[in-house]
Homo-oligomer: A and B are copies of this chain.
Amino acid sequence: MTYKAQVTVTLRPSILDPQGKATHHALTQLEFDQINHVRIGKFIEMEIEAPSPGDAQRIAEDAADKLLANPVMEDFSVHVEEVQPVG
């Protein structure tokens, strides 16, 4: 079975985010004064061949832990859903 996994990787709250600060600054220049606390993370989509959603979830978490996220600085969350066959 093919599953689609979405992995969201975010910086831990204690880690400074210069990219988020720069984006916030740019938004302020565009007069988005209502926006604060901008933080930038990564969003990774992938397809996983696995016998069950639980296996797909475990493979995605393992990949996030070993490669996609830096466990010292980043947190991640994984969402898995079945790929709908076309037609």
Residues of A within 8 A of B (CB): 8-10, 20, 23-24, 26-27, 30, 32, 34-50, 59, 62-63, 66-68
Q: Which residues of chain B are near A66, meaning CB under 8 Å?
A: 30
Q: A23-B68, A63-B27 are in contact. Are A45 and B38 (CB under 8 A)?
A: yes
Query: In the bound complex, what is the Cα–Cα distance between A8 and B30 (angstroms)?
Result: 20
B43 near A10 with CB under 8 A, answer yes
Whose C-beta in chain B lies nearest to the C-beta of A26? B67
Partner of A59, one of B20, B34, B39: B34
Whose C-beta in chain B lies nearest to the C-beta of A34? B49
A39 near B44 with CB under 8 A, answer yes
